[in-house]
Amino acid sequence: MATEAVAHQAHEAHAEPNYIAIFIYLAVLTAVELLVYAMGFTTILKVGLLVALALAKAVLVAMYFMHLSFERRGLWIIAGTPLVLVAFCYLMLRPDLSARAWTSQPHPEQAVGVHEGSETSAPAQSAPPQS
């Protein structure tokens, strides 16, 4: 009986989130992601914007569908720690990865019209002018 009263009190402490509004926010963020992808941004800017939008969508889902917005701060610290660790690892490894020779060379599949085993022919010599 006492646990039911406590559970009822906890349920009254916060109102149900408006799931339709959250769905609309997620749909708008998805549309913005599609626009970012379709625009002619540079690759670095495009990837940065897409990651930021995906992170915003993940926070919305965690806050309202996983009910983290109604939890204590300790749970937010537990949920945010992996994000901090991933950002730290990325920032520490990025200078090393960009200094490698294999990252600055074009990918073999980017060579259009060049096939394995085919020899590149020298440009045809033009005939000497006749006098």
Q: What is the pLDDT of residues 62-83, one digit of tens each?
A: 888 777 766 777 777 887 888 8
Helix, coil or strand: residue 42: coil
92 in any annotated domain: no
pLDDT at 29: 96
Joined tokens for residue 112: 């259009």
Domain membership flag for residue 99? no
For residue 123, tell me if it sits in a domain.
no
The mean-pLDDT minimum among 30-44, 74-88, 103-117 falls in: 103-117
The per-residue b/e assignment along 35-57, b for 16 or more CB within 10 angstroms, e otherwise, is ebeeeeeeeeeeeebeeeeeeeb
Q: Tell me if 117 is assigned to some domain.
A: no
Q: Is residue 104 part of a domain?
A: no
Say which amino acid occupies 38: A
At residue 9, the pLDDT reads 56
Domain count, the chain: 1
Using the predicted structure, report yes or no on whether residue 51 has a pLDDT greater than 70. yes
Let me know if residue 126 belongs to a domain.
no
Mean pLDDT score across all residues of the chain: 76
Quote the domain boundaries for residue 49.
2-71
- Domain assignment present for residue 107? The answer is no
Q: Is residue 122 part of a domain?
A: no
Which pLDDT band, with edges at 50, 70 and 90, does 24 fall under? Answer: very high
Q: Give the pTM.
A: 0.54
